Amino acid sequence: MKNNRYTLLLGAAAFLFLLVGTSALAQEGKPWIHDPSTIVKCDGKYYTFGTGGGGLISPDGWNWESGAVRPGGGAAPDAMKIGDRHLVVYGSTGGGLGGGHRGIINTMWTKSLDPNSPDFGFSDPVVVAESKFDEDCDAIDPSLLLDPNTGRLWCSYGTYFGFIRIVELDPKTGARVEGNEAKDIAIDCEASSLIYRNGWYYLLGTHGTCCDGVNSTYNIIVGRSRNPQGPYVDNLGRDMIKGGGRMVIASTSRLSGAGHFGRYIETEGVEKMSCHFEADFDRSGRSVLAIRPLLWKNDWPYAGELFKEGVYEIESERRGYGLELAVDFTRIERPRRGGWWANPDEPIEVLPLQTLDEVKDKWPAGEVEIRIGDYLGRPHQRWSIKAVPEAGGYLGGQYYKIQIEGTERTLAATADREVIALPTYTGEACQLWRIEQIVDGTYRIMPKEVPGCSEELVLVSVADSTPSLGKFDPDSDNCKWNFRNH
């Protein structure tokens, strides 16, 4: 964080966009934060901390409000759970202010992150790194990584005013390992974050200009290494100590300044990333918490997209067939054209698609079974998917109703662990769907509730033409779906 280096410019947003443009782009509630820490779940709630000592709490991962408490003030904290305690690290000074580079990195523990819990209470801070006035590094913007292979705890820190450095901490005390020397691992970035996946250590850094509101050019880059101490190189082999880095997420037309990466593993195959956008054009230019799917391609991370409302073919990754009502197929009666028998000079005619009015009276009036079949863009295959704001949400997303376009016929989970189309939408939990992009870019579709079942089940293709509900398997195409807007 280049603290107060520039004046924050607040952009005014149009009222129409404030009404209709925010739910697809940012978290709901009041997700105002700068430099968010990695999201941590504690006692059923989600927490993230920011610069200044405060932070956000969410009961569901979608609606956020202020209320998280962290003593010490300072800037750009990070947090993680180790055993039955939570370790928080933060910078208490720094940022290259006034031409100096003096900074201090502190750690402290608490058993609970809930300020109302009897287990809440932070230990006294312990200094684990510092920088002097004339040093080529600022001790600020720390991040934590507990190595799943060795159990060693690492902390990276630093800003644009010098090097990004890494030191080793004791995972039992949070103190710096005695005699450990800091090592330079990157330059030309700040707000670093360390993660591990599939044999690789990743260093994510925030590049570009900070603290300039709607004009911030902040973006998040990455390099990787087989060793937590580097060297970290990008996809073109450029060392991050020489300014390398591959893009993970940048600004959009209405969200400026993506910075401060955090990773959250929902389950195997489903990952999320958090960051802030320094200015949300649809929310008065405020700095906001953002959560996106975290995708992986050739062992490189990149940000996915939030699901957007629309009319789609719901396509099975297993075979490429589309989800549909199990109703009789109605032919479109048109003369066949083409082939050797066609008259090449015959005038071109634009053919209309089959309409709902042409077929809906032939469908059963009550419940209709669901199947998977060849997609032809017919009314029984076109699904309208709309958010249901009053249904709450989950980490980084909200619930949706899935209906045949132009009708009230609604996809629902049954007590038999099957799916069916009900004739009307009632708002019951079995009619609400969680739609999440998984690490390979496809989607899992999960009912909010399966009647009489406590397990988390997802929509699966148990055969080419048979949908059902089953356990999520990230390695099986039976659990994966795509949304095609044909």
pLDDT in tens, the chain (486 residues): 444 333 333 333 333 333 333 344 568 999 999 999 999 999 999 999 999 888 999 999 999 999 999 999 999 999 999 999 999 999 987 655 555 678 999 999 999 999 999 999 999 999 999 998 888 999 999 999 999 999 999 999 999 889 999 999 999 999 999 999 999 999 999 999 999 999 999 999 999 998 899 999 999 999 999 999 999 999 999 999 999 999 999 999 999 999 999 999 999 999 999 999 999 999 999 999 999 999 999 999 999 999 999 999 999 999 999 999 999 999 998 877 766 667 788 888 898 999 999 999 999 999 999 999 999 999 999 999 999 999 999 999 999 999 999 999 999 999 999 999 999 999 999 999 999 999 999 999 999 999 999 999 999 999 999 999 999 999 999 999 999 998
Q: What's residue 346's pLDDT?
A: 82
Asked if 74 and 51 touch (Cβ cutoff 8 Å), the reply is: yes
Tokens of 372: 């998977």
Q: What is the pTM of this model?
A: 0.91
Tell me, what amino acid is at 52?
G
Report pLDDT for 135: 86
How far, CA to CA in Å, does 231 sit from each of 47, 157, 186, 187?
32, 16, 9, 12
Reading the block at residue 217, the tokens are: 């050019």
Q: What are the structure tokens assigned to 346, written together? A: 């015959």
Name the token pair of 235: 């996809």
144 with 80: CB under 8 angstroms? yes
Instruction: Write out the DSSP string of 413-424.
Output: E-TTS-EEEESS
Closest by alpha carbon to 461, among 321, 335, 253?
321
Question: How would you class 236 by CB atoms within 10 Å of its CB: exposed for 0-12, middle for 13-18, buried for 19 or more?
Answer: exposed
Residue type, 112: S
Cα–Cα distance for residue pair 155/163, rounded to 1 Å: 14
Residue 98 main-chain phi, psi, to 5 deg: 65, 20
Q: Is the peptide bond before 59 cis (omega within 30 degrees of 0)?
A: no
The set of residues, in sequence order, having a beta carbon less than 8 Å from that of 113 and lying 6+ positions away, is 40, 42, 43, 45, 47, 68, 79, 86, 120
Identify the burial level of 298 via C-beta atoms within 10 angstroms of its C-beta, where 0-12 means exposed, 13-18 middle and 19 or more buried. exposed
> Token pair of 94, please?
């720094």
What single string gives the DSSP state of each residue in 437-468? Answer: E-TTS-EEEEES-BTTB-S--EEEEEETTEEE
pLDDT at 341: 67
Domain residue ranges in the chain: 15-303, 310-333+353-484
pLDDT at 178 (0 to 100): 95
- Residue 438 is predicted with a pLDDT of 98
CATH architecture under which domain 15-303 falls: 5 Propeller (2.115)
Domain 310-333+353-484, what fold? Trefoil (Acidic Fibroblast Growth Factor, subunit A) (2.80.10)
Q: What's the pLDDT at 104?
A: 95
Q: Are the C-beta atoms of 317 and 370 separated by less than 8 Å?
A: no
